Structure formats: C-alpha cells, structure tokens
Amino acid sequence: MTLAADLPLWAALLIAFFLLIGAGLALIGSFGLYRLRNFYDRIHAPTLGTSWGTAGIILASVIYFSVVESRLVLHQLLIGVFVTATTPVTLILLSRAALYRDRVAGNPDVPLLHPLTTPLRTSSPENNPAAAHENTDEIKE
C-alpha cells in the first residue's frame, strides 16, 4: 500500500465501489453454487462471478493502475475478453456432459433426445446410450 496514499479521493471511491461489486457478485455466485439443489440450477450461479464479478474487479484494476502510473493501463481488459470467451465454452461442455450422463442414467427430469416429437422406436434414448452419443456429435458439425 505504498502508492495508495497518492490516490485522489474519487479514484479510491470508484475503485472501492467496483471492487466490492465484483467480489460481492463472485461471493453470491459461489454461495448459489453451494446452496442450490440440482446441477442445472447450479450451472447458473458461477456466471455471476464470471460476468459482472470479473468486470467489476477488472475495472477497479484498470482505474487503479491507470491513476497510479498516470497513463492508460488497459491490459487487464484482456482477462475480461478471455473470460467472456471461455466461460460459455466450459459451461456448455459441462452441461452437455451432464445431460448426456443423465440421459444414460435414465433420469426422468431431463429432456429427451428428440424433444419435439415423441420417440417412435421402442428403444428410448435413455436406454440406448449409443443414440444419445450420436446426438451429442451433431453440434460439432
């Protein structure tokens, strides 16, 4: 905290505001992860921390380093770009893996393989892991 004494008051207040918003949202997100009851509910909770949680802390960091070094420091924004691009990828992969596992396990709460039509064949997707497997490949096309 050696450089902090030189900060003007408005900068300190802005940094404190964004830091507390960011950390608070990350905390609420993790709290939701801990508290919610099933996996598909929980998958919504960490996005709080990765959207405005990250944005708040990055903005605080940009303001702090820009004021302290008296020039525009923007490289923290790269973390924001990176997190915005990667979080959806991990969450989509995870939720598809969970859906696949639930279909194989025959969990009745998850949607069927072909939701708009009732399955015609006698073997429903839940009893036929190979069919569910095929469907998961289609998104890659």
Partner 1 sequence: MSATILYWSVTLAQIALGIAMILALIRMIKGPRAQDRVLGLDTLYSNGMLLMLVFGIGTGNSLYFEISLIIGALGFVATVALAKFLMRGEVIE
Partner 2 sequence: MNSLFPYPLLTISLLITWLMLAGFSFGQFLLGTIIAIMAARGLAALHPCDSRPRHWRLLFRLAGIVFYDIVRSNIAVAQIILHDGKKTGKSGFMTIPLELRDPMGLAILAVIITGTPGTAWVDYNSARSTLILHVFDLIDETAWVNLIKNRYEHLLREIFE
Q: Rule CB under 8 A: which residues touch partner 2?
A: 25, 28-29, 31-32, 35-38, 40-41, 43-45, 47-48, 50-52, 74-75, 77-78, 84-85, 87-88, 91-92, 95-96, 99, 110-111, 114-116, 135-136, 138-139, 141
77 binds partner 1 (CB under 8 A): no
Closer Cβ to partner 1, 72 or 120, answer by number? 72
15 binds partner 1 (CB under 8 A): yes
* HEC-encoded secondary structure of the chain: CCCHHHCCHHHHHHHHHHHHHHHHHHHHHHHHHHHCCCHHHHCCCHHHHHHHHHHHHHHHHHHHHHHHCCCCCCCCHHHHHHHHHHHHHHHHHHHHHHHHHHHHHCCCCCCCCCCCCCCCCCCCHHHCHHHHHHHHHHCCC
Q: What is the nearest approach in angstroms of partner 1 to the Cβ of residue 117?
A: 25
4 binds partner 1 (CB under 8 A): yes
Q: Which does 66 bind (CB under 5 to 8 A by kind): partner 1, partner 2, none?
A: none
